[in-house]
Amino acid sequence: MEKEFEHVPVKKLILKLGLPAMAAQFFNILYNIIDRIYVGNLPQNGELALASVGICAPALTTVSAFAYLVGTGGSASMSIALGRRDRLYAQKTINNAFVMLLVISAAVTAIALICKRPLLYLLGCSHTMYPFASRYFTIYICGTTAALCGTGMNQFILAQGFSKQGMLSIVIGAIANVVLDPLFIFVFHFGIAGAAAATVLSQILSLCYVLHFLFGNKAPIRIQKGSYQKDIMKCILKIGMMPFFIIVLDNFIIIFLNASLRYHGGSQTGDQYIACAAIVQSFMVIVTCPAQGITTGCGTLYSYHYGAGNYTKVMQVFRYVFLLCITYIGLLFLFAQFAPQFFVRMFVDGAENIPLASSFIRKYTLGLYGIAVQYAIVDGLTAMGKIKYALPISLFRKALYLVLIFFLPFVTDLKNIFYAGSISDILGSCLTIFVFFTIVKKKLKKELC
């Protein structure tokens, strides 16, 4: 791996690592999209069940953030060590990360099940929604170990340059989910519980592949016993805290959005708008997951060349990752503005719901190009352990989003609350560009040259 990173042109490596990781995330989003499509088309209570899945989504995604806490932090730490030619530290890192994920999974599962009822109502669940949300949430949470360990340890496959194997682990789970969803929901008549069960079984299959690879002989750095050290765990948490915190904050924003829609829209309109918001978030998953796949797949290049002290190649990684992200996101921007109804029809039907959800997608995505800037720069800085720069510029965008969600319903129609995403993306990317070129780039050049 080290020889390839040193001698193969950065542009070629970006395509080799970024494209498979992006493709993998297309399959990964099937976990969310397929569940919501089938649930939204249930013969009875489809719209209510879809809103219930949307209510559960922030909590379940927050749980998955622990996978990135350890996976991103550990894989970045391992790649930096490899750039410094310290294979022993890299080996210790993967060992510690695996144990951390096992312990965290057990703790999160227990806490989530104990706090289920108050948590769901805190997320905006109504009494009508609760039976649906409770069944979905309970089954999904029981698969926490498979979800966290599979996703978290897959980062170590990608970090060693095995982008195709990392993609395969996700594809296995996604295909299984596509097959099992209609079987459990419509053939066995499990309803919303079947959607959750299909996802859990699919995550277990993904985990089996990841562990088979990382315990086998093909991976240069494999999971082994021993070498558990607090200092290494602290280093993993220090780097991983950034993506963890951002995912948690993103889901808090979704919770706040649902709560605002519930408060200002009332019971009937609130449920309708929350269901439409779930469709908007499903579209945004298609935007953000593959873009994140690019930065995750290429994250090892940021980390490795930073560890090796190669400023020129670090800047090349920033440039080519941004170009790849903005090409992909630009295509989705055009679709979101001119043909969102084709996406909405997969979830709902009716003369009122389709144009309503389509208009929400248009409003939410006007600033979509700003996301390309955020992912390329913020995720790149995170991969190099530069949290002191990455965190403030990311927090600015999130804080602005929260402020807009709070104030917009008081000064304009509730439907315009979805402009909050576009405004925060545009202004957030402007700040990110300013900070990167006036402060961060100079600091990196001074440090590495």
User: What was the pLDDT predicted at 32?
Assistant: 65
Altogether, the residues listed in the chain come to a count of 449
Task: Look up the pTM and report it.
Answer: 0.79
- Closest CA relative to residue 139, chosen from 39, 56, 247, 37: 56
> Which bin fits 412, alpha (ψ -120 to 50), beta or left (φ > 0)?
beta
Residue ranges in the chain whose pLDDT is less than 70: 1-3, 30-32, 350-351
For the chain, the average pLDDT equals 89
pLDDT at 351: 66
Task: Tell me how far apart the alpha carbons of residues 379 and 386 are, in angstroms, rounded to a whole number.
Answer: 10
Predicted local distance difference test score (pLDDT) of residue 30: 66
Query: How many structural domains comprise the chain?
Result: 1
- Measure the CA–CA gap between 138 and 426, rounded to whole angstroms: 38
User: Which SS3 state, helix, strand or coil, does residue 61 take?
Assistant: helix
CA-wise closest residue to 359 among 342, 341, 335: 341
- What per-residue confidence (pLDDT) applies to 177? 87
SS3 367: coil
Per-residue confidence (pLDDT) for residue 350, from 0 to 100: 66
Name the residue with tokens 């409003």.
363
Question: Which residue range is the domain that position 94 belongs to?
Answer: 2-448
pLDDT tens for each residue of 374-409: 999 999 998 888 988 998 999 999 999 999 999 999
Closest CA to 348 of 284, 287, 269, 280: 280
